[in-house]
Structures are given as structure tokens and as C-alpha cells.
Structure 1
Amino acid sequence: MAVTDEAILKIKAMIVSGELRPGDRLEPEKELSERLGLSRSSLREAVKALEVIRVLDVRRGDGTYVTSLEPTLLLEAMSFVVDLHSDQSVLEIFAVRRVLEPATSALAAQNAEPEDLAHLHELLGSVDAASDIETLVAHDLDFHRGIASAAGNSYLAGLLESMSSHTVRARIWRGITQEDATGRTIAEHGAILAALEQHDHELARALTLTHIAGVENWLRAAL
């Protein structure tokens, strides 16, 4: 079992048992992680996931609280997950990305101008391991959009852009539930950018294929 899943189950058990009730505030992260025998990072990821489905309410500067747990609140939030898991077409979109994006990166390695590479560096510098999920997803979309632009084929860039909006939910859910999704994404983007700077089109192609296939494999398992 993934450590994030274990953390989610432990918090769930506290709520089901009545140890945590609607409106209760959770202990500070350090104390709760030690009491539950969890790392602070896995506890933090569990809290993010439970916040998305409206079980927890993270109030910046105040603390983390159990929500009202009203059925209407939970049903509204769960529609996000249900929609994702019932929409098999997202797998087909990732399969198309797996075909097109490696070729796009290969073109970008050949055609990218210095200003294109500078823009990609700026995007990569806008995120780090502490970035929230919204920032990570925005970066991911912009980074792939930047590669498509650098490839110099406007039709190809437009085709990839038309698919992007259909993958946002999958990107968000991966960022929440996959262990170290942020660190993995940043590292893989950094490697692709290095290949582009070296004008190594075959390496850029291979790294992008690995990157897209990894997300696709996670999505297949999640669905």
C-alpha cells in the first residue's frame, strides 16, 4: 500500500471512530504524523487528497479542520472523482499524446530558438517541491505548451492544445495521489529541457516518451 493511501486510511479511521468529529481541528502536522507513525510528507499528501473531496478544510494560518461531512457537500466533491474514473476517453487522449509529444520534442530540439529555451527555463524555475497542486498543473500545461511552440509547427501545437483541457482533471488527481508527483514532474521536465538545449532530438524524444508513458501507466492503474 502506498504511504499516502495508508495516511488517508488512518485519518479516515479517526473520523469513523468518532475520534475526529465534524468541525474538529486536527493536531499540528508534526504531532499528528508522529502519533500515527507517518512521515510528514505522506500526511501532507493525504490531507491534500481529503481536502479535494471535502472531508478536510485547510485554513491557511489557522489549521486543518474536519468539514461538516454533510452528504450534499461530499457528493458534490465526489463528482470530480467519479467523472474522472468514468471517462475512459482520457486514456485515449494520453495514448495520442504518447504518439505526438515525443515527435514534438524532437522537433523542438532541432528548431528551438534561444528565447524559447529561456521561456522553458523560466517555467521550470516557477515550481519547486513545495508548490501546491494548482501551481504544478499550471506549470505542466505551460511547459508542454512551450515545447509545442518551440517545435515551430503551429498545426501540431494547436492539435496538442485542443487536447489539454481534457487532461486537467487527470493531472490534478495524479498530483494529489501519486507519491512525489511534483518532484518527479520537475525532474523529468528538467531532463527534457536539457536535451532540448543540447539539440539532441533523439534524447528529447526518448525522455518525453518516458514522461508521457509514466503518467499514462499511472492513469491506467488509477482507473
Structure 2
Amino acid sequence: MADDITADVLPSDNPSSADGYVGDPAVREEWDARYSERGQLWSGQPNGALVAEVRDLAPGRVLDVGCGEGADAIWLARAGWDVTALEVSGVALGRAAAHARDAGVSVRWVHAGLAEAALPPDSFDLVSAQYPALPRTPDAAAERALLAAVAPGGVLLLVHHAGMEEHHGPHESGFDPADYVWPSTVAALLGDDWRVEVDEERPRVIPDGGAGAHHSHDVVLRARRLR
């Protein structure tokens, strides 16, 4: 599978920089700046919804969308998954690769935006997107890229903060929920070749420390591709 990936794939011992990045440079710069503000942005623990939802899945090929500093990717690799982890921030990928080296696990790092990455279609037994900041476009490019990456029989797991998409208009920070992909926008594209296994709001398992700890509930969408 790795030979078919056309975006910038960075081995664990070479987190590298922006060379070969595929995607919007402004998005990369925004996230590089955010990660650079703190030595560690997230908790370093795997997301609770991911841990809960993959317990009954046999390890296979997984795509971790928006891998950040690598906690989910490393947890999946330790659990026996063949992990490809995608991230727009080179700063985050550098940290993730270092953490993976320390953990003694192998992960393929892809420095790209999801819609631009040209990942091999129908290739992943699990596509995990935990609280992703995926920009919405008129052609639903990010939503369709998520669905296209899942292999027949595979699972899409999309988790986001509950209630955020219900806000109308930009927040004081300039963040406008209407600009981003939410579980509901992905669910709207599911046809009869998909079976929704989970679509619910639930209390969030909140790790100690890290950004986003103030969000108390998740929306969890888990869907299986039938063919």
C-alpha cells in the first residue's frame, strides 16, 4: 500500500519539514503556528472514543486523519494496526515521528491535506478522524475523500465535539462551524452501500491536559462500507 501513496510519505526516522507537502499552504502555516505556540498541544493519550470503538475490530490497515502529535497513531500501531497517519502540520508530524521512535513503533507519515493527498481508494480497513478540522467545500471534497479511503467491509469512524455545528456564524475567535466538516455532513452522503453502526452523542472521555479538554460530549459516527 505504501508504494501507492502519492503524497509526501515521511518514515518515522525522518519527520522532515514542508518539502513535498500537498495542500493549502495557508492551512499548513496556520497549524504550524498553533503547534509552535506550545511544546505539547494535546494530552499525549489516545482519544477515548477511538479506543472504545475499535476494541471489537480486527487490526488491519488504518488511516489516521489529522494525526496531530501522534497519540492515536502510536496506540493503533501498538495494537497491531498497519498505520498511515496524515497531518497538515509539519511541526506536529515532527513531534509525532519522535514519539513513535520513542515508542518503538512504525507509522507512515503523510504530510498533506486529506482532499489533496490522493490516497489510494478502497484501501483502509479503518479510517479514523478524531475531531478533524476539515474545510468544507462546495464539492464536499473532504467528505468524499473520507468515504473513498474505506475498503469494502471497512469502517469509517468520525468523532467530533457535540453542539459545535449548531452555532451560527463565526465565534469571537473567527472560527465558523459552517466552514468545516461535521459527522452530519458525512452521514448525509452515505448511500445504501453503507450501514450506520453508531450515530449518537455521548459523554466524552476527557484526558488530562491538552487543548479541547473543556468539551464534555462527543458526536460519534461509525459506519461500515458494505461493498
Question: In which range does the TM-score fall when normalised by the shorter chain?
Answer: under 0.3
Max radius of gyration: which structure?
A: 1
TM-score by length of 2: 0.22
TM-score by length of 1: 0.23
Q: Which has more strand, going by share of residues?
A: 2
